[in-house]
Chain A
């Protein structure tokens, strides 16, 4: 019971980071039907921004987090503008391959610029571990979970309540009709990339605090797992991405806890396959047949 509780806490912390990342995949897919393979690398850039801003500008945690979100939002918008927008009317596979290219560019570009070696993330927060009912929970875990949940609630409010959020939803369901009411597609798509990338930037700073170690390739595996989380939740569904992220996080820690660390990634894909067999559109997905 105690290990179960402990693993649940660890799983939720990790899961909240996957959830933040998965949101970006799902929003971008929702609006332009593109799987943005470079999304995991935005998260890496967020982590590096956190690293430099804390080390060299002596930012505190909050400032590092907020500035990483801002910087990543801008990077996301720029990537969309230069890499994906010119391909808006091309075949989907073209944009998909371009996304993979952008991902390689960011990974190798950063390896070239700052070196491929891992470095330790500055501890912007003094780690304190609390003991409670035999469980160990650190202030960093609470901070990660709290920040992630706060951001998710904020995102939900933006999407559900604000005019831009409603415009995003309008564009994802019917871009032509959206234009007919005067919604500017380009602005809305930029806005979506900004939001998704800001979430990835936040996730990057949080993971830096959690695992202490960052490197230019750190976005690859979490990127794929967050993508899996988005698919499990139902790609295009915002609540689905959050739930999918938590499922993957908990699953991964559970597998490690029972001593199968070596298989933790395999299990994630196994669950993906099982869920897609049972619920082809994911947990929250609408079961629509898609023309590809």
Chain B
């Protein structure tokens, strides 16, 4: 479904992503793990069209998208839940969700999508008229995920959804990621919480200093001694 090949992304003179290749098949949960500064977010920004790559290619459903503008990427079915949530303060919870559906024209099915989102995250329904800025960190993460779901994506990119959350919220978030996947959405999950990410992932890639160092199924990587030492605290 998504094929990234030899991708290079720079910030001026700084090379953040150095010839990265990986792919995501339809229906999978694929995780990219790596330490701070490994280039994970940069990679997602390139896929979402917020940053231009210097070389290499990104292919989505057999179309090259490395030069496609962000709104068209969303329209094509790729939604990102950015690192740090980036909900819209000053807009209510419901308005944030409405913005998630900005490009949708199928009004009839929209009500259905709100329903789905509120089913995943009942707290959002309860808080729908509240300013999104007043939500707790965990609730904001839910809102950011709900907002991405509103576009009805085929592929969802999640950038460290568990960052800064209490363990109880983390478990809930991971459960919902699995539920979203089971409902038919392909997931590319970026995490520093490597253990939980690898547990739910079909496959994973380990990224370090802008390069893919290892790859394998979730179980393989969990069992890999190098991975255990570097990312699983053991």
Contact = CB atoms under 8 A, between A and B. Distances in A.
Interface of A: 163, 166-167, 169-170, 173-174, 176-184
B50 A181 contact: no
B90 interface: yes
A173 B82 contact: no
B19 to A, nearest CB: 25
Contacts of B87: 177
B203 interface: no
Given A180-B80, A181-B151, A167 B86 contact: no
Given A169-B90, A173-B89, A176-B86, A182 B71 contact: yes
Contact of A181 (B49, B89, B90, B100): B100
Q: Is the interface of A mostly helix, strand, loop or mixed?
A: helix
B94 to A, nearest CB: 10
4 cross-chain pairs, A with B, having the tightest CB-CB distances, nearest first: A182-B74, A177-B86, A179-B70, A182-B103
A173 B150 CA distance: 20
Nearest to A164: B102
A67 B192 CA distance: 57
A167 B99 contact: yes
A166 B94 CA distance: 11
Interface string B33-77: 000000000000000111000000000000000000111001100
B82 A163 contact: no
B35 to A, nearest CB: 23
Given A176-B50, A176-B86, A180-B50, A163 B102 contact: yes
A181 B79 CA distance: 7
A169 B50 contact: no
B147 A181 contact: yes
Given A166-B95, A166-B99, A180 B48 contact: yes
B196 interface: no
Contacts of A179: 48-50, 70-71
